[in-house]
Structure 1
Amino acid sequence: MSAAPDPIPRPLDHLALNGGDEAPALILRDRTLTYRELRDRVARLSSWLSSAVPESGSRVATWCAKTELACLMPLAAARAGLVHVPVNPLLKRAQVGHILQDSGTELLLGTKSRLSSLETGDSPDNCSVMGEDAVWEAVETHEGALATSDADPDDLAAILYTSGSTGRPKGVMLSHANMWLGAVSVAHYLGMRSDDVVLAVLPLSFDYGQNQLLNAWFAGAAVTPLDYLFPKDVAKACAKHGVTTLAAVPPLWVQLTELDWPQEASVPLRRLTNSGGALTEDLVQDLRTIFPQAKLFPMYGLTEAFRSTYLDPSLVDAHPTSMGTAIPFAEILVINDVGEVAGPDEEGELVHCGPLVALGYWQDTERTAERFKPAPEASEYGGMAVYSGDRVKRSENGLLYFVGRRDAMIKSAGNRISPQELEDAARSTGLVAEAVALGVADERLGHAVHLVVRASSDAVDAELHLPKLLAKELPNFMQPKVIHWRDAMPLNPNGKIDRTALAREVAT
């Protein structure tokens, strides 16, 4: 690996300055933007944005597939002095309405079909809504282009909404510095090059999904975004574009290993990166067999600090279950239950310190105080740290190993699902008096969503109607795989529903 990367952050919109003018930067379905064209499009889009939403710090949301607009908005909004709020295109109007209202979005840009699903009251009263075609028509007729900004790297640049273990999604506030240094860090330890081609399959509303764009552009590489319907679409895109870098979550990797990969799709791959859950030893072996020439990078992170650790590819075969060590610009401490740095093989909480730590949760001081706290005395960085809630151990050789989580978060197909959000949705139908959402280990999904419910006393045909109502109100990835109906819920000694007993029962 080359010398340590430059730790000095810059305004986020400077990221696309490293690519050669005529080198490919963004490979879309119908055309390819060179770096010269990318910079020009960002300048024009940002100028139009600043005229449409002139107040600095205003929130601008996007709700669309991986289109040119979705890809350019992280840089264009930052250059215009606005705060970008990317919305997961899989979400439905109830979740989107919460994000728009909570963030105070003043301009929503998106796919016409998605925007038409919104109802009165879903967005703030002062929020303007525009389809993508209308946006580009306005940009084409708008006169002006903004040069690169001189924004303070500590300024707020984006709000990414992520599910918590309780309640509705919360907005993680990311600064220019957070996103700039995240891009520099990942580009460095992956060894990204200007001749790389990145296939962006992860949602751009996810932290690592956006980072696929940003670390590639920092390195002067090309990105081709893909909204795939079937795993075979990924292999086809790899062959078509000569993809060298592919990121996925474990459930997708499982599906990809079941394909018959042609050589023109598999041989160009230089690196495979994994996030959103741990790889099993069998899956590691399958990936090694199909892509013997590619370096495999298992990674661990959380939206509140972007990325925390990675496992060097040279160590994967010997330590396939390890989380690895801290990425550049991250300091990872293991703190035991008495607040001290844990010794070798002693279990403790993973605490992330350093400049990748986010600014907190948007307009939520209570939950910010629970997760963002002063760094432990042993920290070299000091300042605020993220207390992850994840239990880990550090071995004698310095490698970290995941033990478990303190909260009840469900991770299914790479998505973080709030049990309470699903339970609230079930109860809001009026068909259910009590509900408990659980994640059950599943080889393909990581966790399969199970919902245990007790019907309301006045419910009619609840078993028939509940799945239909949940399908209407919740995105596909939150739909229960199984709904278990109970006449009564087990209670613990405190009179509360015994979730542990239910989890044991459902898992058997």
Structure 2
Amino acid sequence: MVADGSAPLAAAARDRQTPVRDLRPFDLPGALDLPGPRDLFDLPGAPGGPSRPHPGPGAPIPSDPVSILYTSGSTGRPKGVVSTHAGVLFCVRAIARRLRLRPGDVIGCVLPLTFDYGLYQLYLGLYSGAAVAVGHGVDAGPGLLRFLLRHEVTVLPSVAGLTWSLCRLAERQRERPPLRMLTNTGAALSPALAGRVKEAFPGIDVVAMYGLTECKRVSVLLPEEWEQRPTSAGRPLDDTEVLVLCPRTGRVLPPGEEGELVVRGPHLMRGYWNDPELTGQRLRRVGPAQETMLFTGDRGRVDAEGYVYVSGRDDDVYKANGFRVSAAEVALAAEDVPGVEKAHCLPARAERPARLAVVSGRPAEDIRRELAERIEWFKVPDHIHPLPALPLRSNGKTDTAALETLLTGGTA
């Protein structure tokens, strides 16, 4: 990633010194050694200030790049997503308004700052006036509840795996942090898991969101909307539109019909760093005005009231018994089975059948029987693997490459 991004300087904490030195083969001009994790922000007052003076020649402008965030590194070469100053500011303002963040909030971030979801917590804290408690290492594992209690965290940005851990820890301890809101993105939040959070933390707001690094956030489901639409990812952000296009014809589909989700708005990425071909696949000019839109690669639908429903990615759909099956749908159905804490379905490919991994102590046949009561028979995978845990990446998402190796021994 350092070589691809043409970085002139790498900054790392002391415990990362050796990997930084190893970057020398990439002709890195220098490496900066920084202290270990510590409190970096203590900024008084609300955001704002005098208007910005007119920039001189060569000065940065809002449409200039501000960051390159690398994504999807678990299954192939990482892609560098180029974001602009204007796009980041739009997202921060829109998300903070939708989440109704308060100056008195404490956002507990145990997600890596290399993950856009983690990095944006710093931005959101600076914009809203909320404090941000940054955790690391054990704080995202067995020490999670202690971390939340120590810092009196009120808002927890989470992913499904982290949320399951939180619920398990809460079952063993009576003391509760003052959590008022838990947000979820990265993978669908099952109604069963959301209900478990609400049971463990009475009065908490659970906020489901949909987004991708290429435009950060697309939609947010408000807490008061959850009861009526527990499987929705909410309505798009202000000044953002989600269209559903037919993959074969490219025409816009009516409400309720499923197709590829396409996003338009001011927060789309500039492109993928050093990859014009991939940029052209994701960012395409559409319509007579040739407006640039982001083709997400996600399948879903938008109902008549504008609520977004995400079914999965194009690459997680496979054929089983002659029918099209979504691996994401299978996993969500499995998580509804009592005794299953987490599930991930590896879609069938030419060289191997579909495999369902479940975190559960129940026998595979019990899970298969209950799964058949929740989805059509042809969607139930032949191979179900109960596991003590799923392998996770540093951002809390399932490490699909590691899971495939675990289930297949590296073979089909």
TM-score by length of 1: 0.58
Between stretches 290-299 and 154-163, larger displacement belongs to 290-299
Query: What's the RMSD between the two structures over aligned residues?
Result: 3.6
Q: Is the 8 A contact 1:187 1:215 kept in 2?
A: yes
- Structure 1 pair 388–124 and aligned structure 2 pair: CA distance change class (3 A): same
SS of the residue corresponding to residue 227 of structure 2 reads coil
Residue by residue over 1:29-66, the C-alpha shift from the partner in whole angstroms, topping out at 9 and shown as x without a partner, is xxxxxxxxxxxxxxxxxxxxxxxxxxxxxxxxxxxxxx
Q: For residues 291 and 131 of structure 2, what CA distance do their matches in structure 1 show?
A: 36
Q: For residues 240 and 436 of structure 1, what CA distance do their matches in structure 2 show?
A: 47
How is 1:71-470 mapped onto 2 (pairs within 5 angstroms)? 99-117=1-19, 124-133=26-35, 151-163=60-72, 167-229=76-138, 231-260=141-170, 265-266=176-177, 268-337=178-247, 338-376=249-287, 383-407=291-315, 440-443=356-359
- Structure 1 pair 231–279 and aligned structure 2 pair: CA distance change class (3 A): same
Give the gaps of 5 or more residues in structure 1.
1-98, 137-146, 420-434, 445-475, 490-501, 503-508
SS of the residue corresponding to residue 26 of structure 2 reads coil
1:239 shift after superposition: 1.4
Q: Which residue of 1 aligns with 2:368?
A: none
Q: Number of residues paired by the alignment? A: 329
Between stretches 398-407 and 202-211, larger displacement belongs to 398-407
TM-score by length of 2: 0.71
Q: Which residue of 2 aligns with 1:36?
A: none
Q: For residues 317 and 301 of structure 1, what CA distance do their matches in structure 2 show?
A: 21
Between stretches 247-256 and 321-330, larger displacement belongs to 321-330
Q: Is the 8 A contact 1:104 1:124 kept in 2?
A: no
Q: Is the 8 A contact 1:353 1:375 kept in 2?
A: no
SS of the residue corresponding to residue 281 of structure 2 reads helix
Give the gaps of 5 or more residues in structure 2.
39-49, 318-326, 332-340, 361-397
SS of the residue corresponding to residue 212 of structure 2 reads coil
SS of the residue corresponding to residue 4 of structure 2 reads helix
1:124 shift after superposition: 2.8
SS of the residue corresponding to residue 317 of structure 1 reads coil
Structure richer in helix, relative to its length: 1
Q: For residues 301 and 163 of structure 2, what CA distance do their matches in structure 1 show?
A: 26
Q: For residues 407 and 311 of structure 1, what CA distance do their matches in structure 2 show?
A: 25
1:188 shift after superposition: 0.5
Q: Which residue of 1 aligns with 2:378?
A: none
Q: Is the 8 A contact 2:155 2:179 kept in 1?
A: yes
Q: For residues 322 and 328 of structure 1, what CA distance do their matches in structure 2 show?
A: 17
Q: Is the 8 A contact 1:243 1:265 kept in 2?
A: no
1:174 shift after superposition: 0.6
- Structure 1 pair 198–437 and aligned structure 2 pair: CA distance change class (3 A): farther
1:404 shift after superposition: 2.4
SS of the residue corresponding to residue 68 of structure 2 reads strand
Amino acid at match of 1:291: F
Higher relative contact order (CA 8 A, sep 6+): 1
Q: For residues 362 and 175 of structure 1, what CA distance do their matches in structure 2 show?
A: 12
Between stretches 121-130 and 103-112, larger displacement belongs to 121-130
- Structure 1 pair 106–290 and aligned structure 2 pair: CA distance change class (3 A): same
Residue by residue over 1:437-464, the C-alpha shift from the partner in whole angstroms, topping out at 9 and shown as x without a partner, is 98745458xxxxxxxxxxxxxxxxxxxx
